[in-house]
Structure 1
């Protein structure tokens, strides 16, 4: 063929591909096929098939199949301004308030509250019940003449965050007109008219004010999350409302058995806030997943790769699962590099420091996506702006209490569909045994009436056994040491920090060894209570230093809270007329005072291991205890927790003669 008929010569790159079997062309066709399949699979627009928007990130075989099961329609109404608006913050907050569903029914709601003493309010999550209704009541004049409006929350974090949000919306400083009150922390003043508090704190109000005379409205929010405190509150509020007709009682929830609550409150009317702000599409996996943690991580990456902008909220069972999921997400995003956009992985759970928890509420930077990995702390009352996708693995961690064995168990059972919607925790406690315990502690007499020491115990906002321990410290002249022990016990099992064993790029494995050695250095003969006392004493000698906590793998946030608790307990001792004294390093008085409150919680070493004295139940010393490698004959424990075994948490060695002498009420 003549040279002119052949046309222009091909580029050099194409000649190479032709000679080598065109591997580049084959690779390109394979990637286009995968991208086309991914676009169809994840519901991307048809245009994505012609002009792929995303690079190949996930293998199709490794993804999870979902199918749409239901669609919940959203309500038509005013919408909030977009996040990029340049309007002042106050105007944005007011616009958001006006976009809530409860705003459209404000007049009808206020008329119903004025007409009825008790009102059951049912409305979808995000309708504005928690934040707006107390403000409407304040604007309507229910907080005049020195009266206050109370709104209870099931969790401390919810009370704090909601109060802060309402204060911003009203343009006031937190702690003035709007405040919160939780255990060992009171952010209120004489000017406070809207008070958010936990149900346990409102229950304590009945001790000093049985008729709640300083309150004009009591709103029990998230009533479906029934606990022992809420059940007692409902009974007490029902009695108070009968002889205080001017007291308004509101019971609110998103998923509530309204008929049952209405019948309990003498057929109280039900006010329903219909609809929801935005439509919700519900998807289920086509088949159960063997590893729900892995499935959540893969689903987050699927959403991040192929779905439109919007933040993700993932519900997991507890701190361990959350930390594992966050590490997996960060590691995979680090491996993918520039193939995917920026993904901010933010955990939130109860033991997390407050400054870290606050990160989930910060706006997402442009071009990035935020994924919040949370426990059910984010299920109610907490609203995180920008959440578009929610992943629920169908499991929840439940704490159950066995009154016969006096043991708490943390289990992870699968949720039914109704439980997934409600996710309500219930307390399986029996009151009968509580009366028996109070009688043994000397708080009740044989007629069931409060004794002198029982009234003093009621003034201390702690467990009855812990209160009795503090009051007994005066007899043994060790109140200074016992206050420290009580404060450290009230913080919980979050004093020591231990990194994960898994090797990751930002957490060297040798830190685990250093953390274990640092903990062993605090061990003292006698038991874990003395270890807690030693930790606090050394921290106080360091000048309450945060650097000392960092070097010794002790959580500074927990220690700071223990110091606050101790200061408040010291102030309460003046109210119950208990003087301060110190045993000057002698551990015997400390043993006796602790045993005076916790003689119910004793165990004896037998041929088959440790058995509780009360129920003859087999129990074990946890590996983290200072007495794990020792085998004292008699032990005292703070509480029983069932995880892998029936473990005694915070154990103390006692002598039988010490036990017998200290058990007298």
Structure 2
């Protein structure tokens, strides 16, 4: 045992870090005690260690550790099956332990919460430690960490939020950014800040993990230039699965060869479902993963396959469709690693790109069907709206999906072989609303951090629009820095408009109700799409919750009823939601979000009034609070038929069918003026979640300089006449002008442009 202790002392000695790279990081392989908790290793540790050594990434272990010692920044390019996501964070933790965590612990970021949790559980198992102790995770609304945590998995957005209080991440010695090729908004911002972080902290190490093509890693490496030393490692790719393209004969799915026939891009959806049923009739075992473009397609496919599964012959296995989408991930009906899943049951996982990470935890997938398309929302700053875009997936994503079924499986690509696909995923920073990002960057300037060196600099028009909206919300001062209101808004994990409405609710004594509205709108949609035969029943149930003042009030009704029902004996949330055609996951998420927002209000000592929902005063105050944040989203019914004219962009839109003012409610009469939460340029061109307001209330709550900047229209003229009448009455009643509840600042367009520049 003394020999073992001497080896441990030698390995953790920082002075020998550079002299013994080869064996400094080899401890744990032959020792009896776990270097992280001091306990003997279990038999499972050695079993998993044997499996880990078979991974392609293990061959580059020594090369990676040597690069990490000698360079501040290391890029690793490898496919999903190399094992880099689970192994490299562990090696970084061993490096930090060998230096006695002199520079800090290790954090590994992921784009999606599910992936962060799954990796934390797997790594804790491989390191033979307890989850929540030495290894933990932190995702929105959930934290599983302690003071003993030396390796933390979190989302990119959570690490950015942590930077608002710790701008240089002093807690960490190594930052691992996994799946950088996804190019999410938070990932790009984090990568943009890395350069400044590394310059300010010479002891900090950063590791960026991404998938091929190699040119993407080389381009990312060159982005940092000579600002810091950077190394690039390329991992050996495992053998790909057998690939069958659309223009091959997919009817002979058991053989997987042949030419001629196939499907076309315009019917990829039904071609994918036909192929699922054809695969199920073969003798080959294994689950099926189907990648579709959107959540709506997943829902329709799930319904169709459920119906078709009842018509299959008794000699076939049971066909079980499983939805895997962001915010609506179902657990597999049997454990993912159970070998018995291949006998008697075939699962069909229906997923979009958002649910793709969950599939890597399923070991039984033998077939992959890739439609080759995805639905994305692209933000248009000119009209302040998202557009739905159906487009081809990237070559990077296509190659990743081909590896999902391992070399023994088959991947069916429902597009022609050789079809040109974009090389990389589209950077979301070029397609997203930048309001929250600009608010964060302004907050970081207060924290003392320098400029954000974006990989792809956002569109100047999008930046200007974000700065303009923050200025309208009084989040910026006359110098373009964050105002006191802006600092408070940056504390909320909300869109600035919703944060401004929540902040105003504390002034108007309706914070309890606005907490519910903010939580319900931040969670996934609570309304479930009913089966074909139950549409009328679902509409009837939803109508019972409808509030005459609008959809925001309807959401409060739903949440309050949900909370009240929880007090009943033998309450079952799943049954209650099923009876009311509501999404239980959405309501549970809203409950957690509301609790988090309430804690933030208490922490920054903002008053939360007692609930008084239903009174006339409370109703008026809720509308005032909503207009404090969403005065830029006002529409008027110009013909009494539900054609709403939006004052900001002069577009005309219909009401979304889910709304209480939807098509089925037209006979009840539609409000002339509404405030709405969301507008999307889709096939139906709808505004969503709207409530009735009066022109007088809009004038009272809207900053004067925003009103002056509205484009000319008949609706603006109507408001102008109302404004003049109110001003005339006020001047006759009291010669002293009254201070409005809104923030009014007279600002010329030139002055606004000068100070709305992102430094």
TM-score, with length taken from structure 2: 0.71
Whole-Å separation in 2 of the counterparts to 1:376 and 1:89: 33
Change (3 A) 1:416 1:569: closer
Change (3 A) 1:328 1:174: same
Change (3 A) 1:499 1:659: same
Give the deviation of 1:315 after TM superposition: 1.0
Query: Conserved in 1, the CA contact under 8 Å of 2:112 and 2:155?
Result: yes
Q: How does 1:151-550 map to 2 (within 5 A)?
A: 151-255=108-212, 257-266=216-225, 268-276=230-238, 278-286=239-247, 287-289=262-264, 290-306=266-282, 308-353=284-329, 355=331, 363-368=339-344, 369-380=346-357, 382-383=359-360, 384-415=362-393, 417=395, 420-421=398-399, 424-427=425-428, 428-429=431-432, 430-493=462-525, 495-501=526-532, 509=533, 511-543=534-566, 545=571, 546=573, 547-550=575-578
Whole-Å separation in 2 of the counterparts to 1:488 and 1:159: 24
Whole-Å separation in 1 of the counterparts to 2:305 and 2:558: 35
Query: Conserved in 2, the CA contact under 8 Å of 1:151 and 1:195?
Result: yes
Q: Using the TM superposition, name which of 462-471 and 375-384 deviates more.
A: 375-384
Whole-Å separation in 2 of the counterparts to 1:423 and 1:337: 44
Alignment-derived partner of residue 459 in structure 2: none
Alignment-derived partner of residue 653 in structure 1: 692
Whole-Å separation in 2 of the counterparts to 1:388 and 1:216: 40
Alignment-derived partner of residue 558 in structure 1: 586
Query: Conserved in 2, the CA contact under 8 Å of 1:398 and 1:425?
Result: no
Whole-Å separation in 2 of the counterparts to 1:261 and 1:638: 37
Whole-Å separation in 1 of the counterparts to 2:476 and 2:144: 33
Q: Using the TM superposition, name which of 600-609 and 229-238 deviates more.
A: 600-609
Change (3 A) 1:417 1:572: closer
Query: Conserved in 2, the CA contact under 8 Å of 1:348 and 1:357?
Result: no
Give the deviation of 1:425 after TM superposition: 4.7
Query: Conserved in 1, the CA contact under 8 Å of 2:336 and 2:363?
Result: no
Whole-Å separation in 1 of the counterparts to 2:303 and 2:426: 28
Q: Secondary structure at the match of 2:202?
A: coil
Whole-Å separation in 1 of the counterparts to 2:563 and 2:684: 35
Give the deviation of 1:412 after TM superposition: 2.4
Whole-Å separation in 1 of the counterparts to 2:394 and 2:204: 38
- 1:481-531 CA distance string (max 9 Å, x none): 1111111111132x1223221xxxxxxx2x332221110001111110000
Give the deviation of 1:124 after TM superposition: 1.0
Whole-Å separation in 2 of the counterparts to 1:205 and 1:191: 18
Give the deviation of 1:119 after TM superposition: 1.1
Whole-Å separation in 1 of the counterparts to 2:132 and 2:370: 36
Whole-Å separation in 1 of the counterparts to 2:491 and 2:602: 11
- 1:435-482 CA distance string (max 9 Å, x none): 111111111112111111111111111111111111111110111111
Q: Using the TM superposition, name which of 651-660 and 177-186 deviates more.
A: 177-186
Alignment-derived partner of residue 97 in structure 1: 52
Whole-Å separation in 2 of the counterparts to 1:376 and 1:284: 20
Query: Conserved in 1, the CA contact under 8 Å of 2:475 and 2:483?
Result: yes
Give the deviation of 1:288 after TM superposition: 3.6
Whole-Å separation in 2 of the counterparts to 1:242 and 1:192: 26
Matched, 1:113 2:68: yes
TM-score, with length taken from structure 1: 0.80
Query: Conserved in 2, the CA contact under 8 Å of 1:497 and 1:555?
Result: yes
Give the deviation of 1:104 after TM superposition: 1.9
- 1:187-245 CA distance string (max 9 Å, x none): 22222221111111111122100111101111111111112222221221111111111
Whole-Å separation in 2 of the counterparts to 1:401 and 1:491: 20
Whole-Å separation in 2 of the counterparts to 1:580 and 1:363: 53
Alignment-derived partner of residue 76 in structure 1: none
Query: Conserved in 2, the CA contact under 8 Å of 1:583 and 1:589?
Result: no
Query: Conserved in 2, the CA contact under 8 Å of 1:353 and 1:557?
Result: no
Alignment-derived partner of residue 634 in structure 1: 673
Higher relative contact order (CA 8 A, sep 6+): 1
Matched, 1:577 2:605: yes
Note the residue ranges of structure 2 that are not aligned, 5 or more in a row: 1-41, 248-261, 400-422, 433-461, 703-741, 744-759
Whole-Å separation in 2 of the counterparts to 1:454 and 1:136: 40
Whole-Å separation in 1 of the counterparts to 2:364 and 2:386: 37
Give the deviation of 1:94 after TM superposition: 3.2
Q: How many residues align?
A: 569
Q: Secondary structure at the match of 2:645?
A: strand
Change (3 A) 1:418 1:571: closer
Change (3 A) 1:135 1:417: closer
Note the residue ranges of structure 1 that are not aligned, 5 or more in a row: 1-86, 502-508
Query: Conserved in 2, the CA contact under 8 Å of 1:621 and 1:648?
Result: yes
- 1:150-205 CA distance string (max 9 Å, x none): 11111122122222222222233332222222222222222222111111111112
Whole-Å separation in 2 of the counterparts to 1:391 and 1:661: 55
Give the deviation of 1:434 after TM superposition: 1.0
Query: Conserved in 2, the CA contact under 8 Å of 1:469 and 1:594?
Result: yes
Whole-Å separation in 2 of the counterparts to 1:403 and 1:323: 30
Q: Secondary structure at the match of 1:589?
A: helix
Whole-Å separation in 2 of the counterparts to 1:310 and 1:474: 55
Q: Secondary structure at the match of 1:581?
A: coil
Alignment-derived partner of residue 137 in structure 1: 92
Change (3 A) 1:555 1:130: same
Change (3 A) 1:576 1:357: farther
Whole-Å separation in 2 of the counterparts to 1:467 and 1:481: 14
Change (3 A) 1:500 1:319: farther
Q: Secondary structure at the match of 1:566?
A: helix
User: Among 627, 640, 654, which residue is 1:620 paired with?
Assistant: 654
Whole-Å separation in 1 of the counterparts to 2:210 and 2:202: 23
Query: Conserved in 2, the CA contact under 8 Å of 1:314 and 1:391?
Result: yes
Change (3 A) 1:367 1:184: closer
